[in-house]
Each structure stands twice: as structure tokens, then as C-alpha cells.
Chains A and B, each alone.
Chain A
Amino acid sequence: MKIPPLSQISLAASWLLLGLLLAMVADPALFTRYSATAGAAVEHLRAPSGAHWFGTDQLGRDVFARIIYGANRTLPAALIAVATGLLAGAGIGALAGAAGGRVDAVLTGLMDVLMSIPELLMSLTIVILLGFGTIHAAIAVGIGQIAGFARIVRGDVTRISAMTFVEAARGGGATFAGVLWRHVLPNCMTSLIGLSVLRYSTAILSIATLGFLGYGAPPPAPEWGLMISEGRDYLATAWWMTTFPGLAVLLVALATTRISRTIVDPAGKRR
């Protein structure tokens, strides 16, 4: 039997991981018998063992269980973030690309403004505005992503709008919105979906960052970024408290990046 190439193995592993994560989001209790928030105080700061795979934290809570339940929180939040960035960004980008002229100039200027502010600072501005919490952090991350989506969509729409079949549709009497919706946007889909999946992985990283900084869910919640931040106080004694949540973020980010590459470039021509 021939061993499949490494890229195929990594892709299969990525899909497998994503499937597992979805199952975790659907039913966390399937994966662990421990609670994510209630711990046994006598069992605090235990190293990884057969009973506690990833050890326990300072309150005796099972780290593995907290990571499982944390997936339930972080993954949907990242979805909200990407949806926010995608809808707003695609809307601005499509309008700019399709309308052209003065509208395009103003919206491109707006994009330049958004690009000049680093994503994290943009998110922090929104967090101040909305207040703390996982959903607010997710929306803040999504707003930070608007400019990137808008740029890609504007470029695509401008390119496709100039093609003959779009002109033909317009000549055939279709409305502006009709042409945009039925002919231009479907042709932007491949790059848009690829970017969305890629941004999903950055959204997970960013949401965990906001959680780490303390702007996500309040303490008892099992959030990956928050877990790492709490584990910082036990660096010298309990390495497992920071290592495993970090690995969770890393693996999810790697898996989604790997999958996004196959969408943008199915044949794998470019690495």
C-alpha cells in the first residue's frame, strides 16, 4: 500500500479535528464526565494523569473538561465574528465595486481608514463601546475584520463587473441589485469562502486574545484565552494549565488554515 502524501494526511487530520470539535459543541458531556465550572478543591493543581488527562487547575477543576466546554464557547463566537466581518465587509466592498465613481472613492477611503488601525486596537475600541463578554468580544473581532473582507470583495466585484456576461445581463434590462446578486456575487464566492475560513482561524486567535486580556467572559467561564491567563500565576508549578488550552487554540487555528487552503486552491498548485 502506498502511503498518502503528507498534505493529504494533514488535510484529513484537520477535517477529523473539526468534526470532533463540532461534536464537542453539540454535546460536551459526551467527552468528559467532569464539570467545567465545579471542581474538587482537594484535587487542585494535580498533574496530568489517567483520572485527569490534562491535570486540574487551582480550584481542582478538570482542565480537559474546561477545554471541551470552552470549545462550546469559542467556536460559535468565532462564527459570529466572521459573520460580522463578512456581512459588513462584503456589503461595503460589493457596493464600492459595483457602484464605482464617487461612492467607490468614499468607501475605499473608509477602507483605508479601517486598514490604518491595527485589528486589535479596532477590536479594543469596540470592546470599550459594547462592554465585556464573549459575544461582545466576538463582534469586536468581526468589526476588526471588515476592512480585509471589503478589500477582497471590492477587487472581485470590480473585476467581474467589467466582464461581458455582466454587461449582457445589464443590457437585458436587469436591475442594479439583480445583476449584483445573481451574476456578480456568485462569482466572488470561491475567494470569499476561502477567506472566511482563513479568517475563522484568526478570529479564534483574536477572541482568545481578548479573553486572555480579560475582556471576554468573566472568570468562572471555561474560555481558552481566560484559562491561559489564569494559568499564568501557576507557571512554575502547573505547566499543564497554560500548555493545553494553548495547544487547543493552536490546533484549531492550524486545522482551519489548512482547510481554507484547499478551498482557495483545490489542486494545491501553490503551497
Chain B
Amino acid sequence: MTRSAPATRPPAAYAETAARIAVRAGHALLVLWGAFTLTFVLLQLMPGDAVMIRFMDPELGLTPAQIAAIRLSYGTGASPFVQYVHTLGQMLHGNFGYSVQLGVPVSSLLATTLPVTLRLAVCGFVAAMTWTFAVAVAATLLPWAWARGLARALPGLWGAVPLYWSGILVIQVVSFRLHLIPVIGVGPWEGMILPALAVSLPVAAPLAQILLQHVDETANLPFATVARTKGASPASVFWRHIIPNAMLPFLTMGGLVFGELLAGAVVTETVFGLDGVGQLTRQAVAGQDVAVLQAVVMISATSFVTINFIIDLLYPVLNPTLRHRARRPTRSRAS
């Protein structure tokens, strides 16, 4: 689309870009609506809703009329369609309903748990990126063939390590054997070191594999050979020519990474006893707390869609070949 936009008529090009953004945004909203509808239908079909499970306990001695009143106050007594519209409207206003299990608004639960999980996600993301690039550098630039081979094999190996198990092993070795970092009674950031380490491994594994694959492909392209024959050192070819080009396909994994981090949080927060969204999710499933689970799913879907939307928009800006085209549109098919 951008290819056919002549540079001599910028207004048309802008209009085209705006239209592209609008289409993308519309698609993103449609996906979110679909995710809401899907989870609503799935969770609505639940056998014996959460209210019944909690209040049908004979020890509470509630009459059927009282139970019906409670159901109505939680909004589960109305017809499915009315509930659907009501829940959707509430969610658009940032109101995620009430946790049946804990009896408090879901939004207030999220307010206390989200910061913990975000901190974990940020630390995990930084750690994962560090692993990924360390592996790519080691697999490409190390002077010994056996070491390069080892670095190549690493992501496949640690991708198969169950997250809860590596977390437990880390606690076992670092806290119980070496007594380096205590498991309890540490500061908010210090306490993140081990969980972030644990959560980063399964995230970094597919990332490192994809980056390595693209590094290999790019390294065989003519321009890399030219750079090498002109006398550039392997390190400079790697950083200045290979990485910028190999990074692009890598970027599209961004949304996936976030999903992995959030799913990883469910396990990691359980292992390390952190009170974040992951722990909240685990409790919600155990207690059939539908509103909480739906809120968590919607938050994660929204983040996924938003991140992908941003990456989509940034793609032409970051892609060197597309930039080239934008400047000299007449040589559009010059690749």
C-alpha cells in the first residue's frame, strides 16, 4: 500500500496511513470484543455458578428467597443476554464486577495485585532479553566451535524445563544451599531477582531460537558478505549489519512474550509466594470466581492486542528497507 503512494502527494499518503491505522484499530477492537464474548460464553456455561457454590452451604442456613436475592445482587440471576450486555457495559467503564469468593470489587483486587505482576513482568522481560542476546552473541561470536554449538543447543534445552520446577530448583540452590537470597523478608525489588530469573527462561527460549534463526539467515545475505570482505570485524558485522535486520521478525513476537510472562506469573507467583495477578488467578480458578478470571483474561487479551497494534504501526518505521522505499518510492521493488 505504501509502495504505491507517490512522495509528491504527501496528503494522500497521510490519508492512506490514517486509513491503515483505522483498519488496524478496528480489527484490534473486534478481536477484543471476540475475546470478551468467548470468555463470557465459556464462563456463563459453568455448571453451578459461583454464587450457588458459596451460598448453598447448608451451614449458612439461607432460604431459597435469600439466595435468589444474592444472585440478583451479583447479577447472575438475569437472562444470559441481559447479563452479557450489562457485563460488557460495566467492563467498558472499567468495572469488572465483584469477586464472589472475596466479596470485594475485582478492580480493587487488581489494583493491589497488578503492580506486583507488572514488576515481575518487567524484570522477567529484561532478564529474557539479556538471555536472548547473550545466546545470540555466544552462538555467533565465540571463537570456539564447541562453545558456539553449546550456546545454540541451550534454548532448546531450557525451553523444555518446566517453569515451576526451575523456580523450585533456583530456590533450592540459591536460598537453601548457598544462602544467598532469603525466600522471605526481602525488599520488593530484591525479592524479584529469583522469580524474574525463573520466569525469564521459558520466555527467552523461543525468542533466542527465532533470533538465532534470523541471524543465521541474515549472515548469509550478500550485504553481510560484502561487509566482511571489506574487512569489518565479525563483531562489527554482527552488531551493525546482522542484528538490525534480524531484529524485525523478532519484534513481531512482542505480544507473544507478554502472554508468556503473564501465564508464567501464575506459576511463578505460586512458587515464590508473591501476591500478584497470577496468584489471584490461581485462587479464582480454585474457587470458580468467574468475574476475576474474566477480568484477568481481558487484561491479558487487551495487552496482547495493544502491543501487537503498536508493533504493527512501528513496523514500517523500524524496517530499513521500507524506510528506503518511502524516501525513494520510484525504486519500490528494488529488493
Contact = CB atoms under 8 A, between A and B. Distances in A.
B296 interface: yes
B266 A112 contact: no
B168 A242 contact: yes
Contact of B267 (A115, A213, A270): A213
Contacts of A96: none
Contacts of A253: 160, 162
A205 B300 contact: no
Interface string A140-184: 000000000000000000000000000000000000000000000
B35 A116 contact: yes
B304 A205 contact: no
Contacts of A214: 286
Interface in A73-121: 109-110, 112-121
Contact of B43 (A114, A115, A129, A232): A129
Nearest to B171: A235
Contacts of B176: 235-236
Contacts of B23: none
A212 interface: yes
B55 interface: no
B266 A120 contact: yes
A249 B301 contact: no
A249 B162 contact: yes
Contact of B285 (A117, A127, A254): A127
Given A109-B31, A124-B285, A246-B169, A254 B43 contact: no
A125 B290 CA distance: 9
Interface in B155-179: 156-157, 159-165, 168-169, 171-172, 176
A34 interface: no
Contact of B162 (A121, A129, A209, A231): A209
Contacts of A116: 31-32, 35, 301, 304-305
Contacts of A239: 172
B39 interface: yes
Interface SS of chain A: helix, strand, loop or mixed? helix
Interface size, B (range):
35 or more
A121 B296 contact: yes
B31 A118 contact: no
A119 B266 CA distance: 12
Given A113-B38, A124-B285, A271-B152, A209 B160 contact: no
A67 B270 CA distance: 23
A37 interface: no
Contacts of A235: 168, 171-172, 176
Contact of B46 (A110, A129, A209): A129
A192 interface: no
A246 B260 CA distance: 20
B45 interface: yes
B238 to A, nearest CB: 18
B25 interface: no
A45 interface: no
A209 B259 contact: no
Contacts of B156: 254, 257
A243 B45 CA distance: 39
A40 B14 CA distance: 77
B271 interface: yes
A76 B279 CA distance: 29
B165 A117 contact: no
A193 interface: no
A41 B304 CA distance: 50
Given A129-B45, A249-B165, A257-B160, A121 B281 contact: yes
B99 interface: no
Contacts of B286: 214-215
A117 B300 contact: yes
Interface in A21-54: none
B110 interface: no
Contacts of B27: 112
Interface in A241-260: 242-243, 245-246, 249-250, 253-254, 257
A251 to B, nearest CB: 8
Nearest to B48: A131
B165 A250 contact: yes
B164 A228 contact: yes
24 contacts: A109-B30, A112-B27, A112-B31, A113-B34, A116-B304, A117-B301, A118-B260, A118-B304, A119-B259, A121-B262, A121-B281, A121-B296, A121-B300, A125-B293, A128-B293, A129-B45, A205-B160, A212-B270, A213-B267, A214-B286, A228-B168, A249-B165, A253-B162, A270-B213
Given A124-B281, A128-B293, 7 more contacts: A112-B31, A117-B304, A119-B263, A128-B43, A128-B285, A208-B162, A209-B163
Interface of A: 109-110, 112-121, 124-129, 131, 201, 205, 208-209, 212-215, 225, 228-229, 231-232, 235-236, 239, 242-243, 245-246, 249-250, 253-254, 257, 270-271
10 closest Cβ pairs, A-B complex: A246-B165, A113-B34, A120-B263, A118-B259, A253-B160, A118-B263, A116-B301, A254-B160, A116-B304, A212-B164
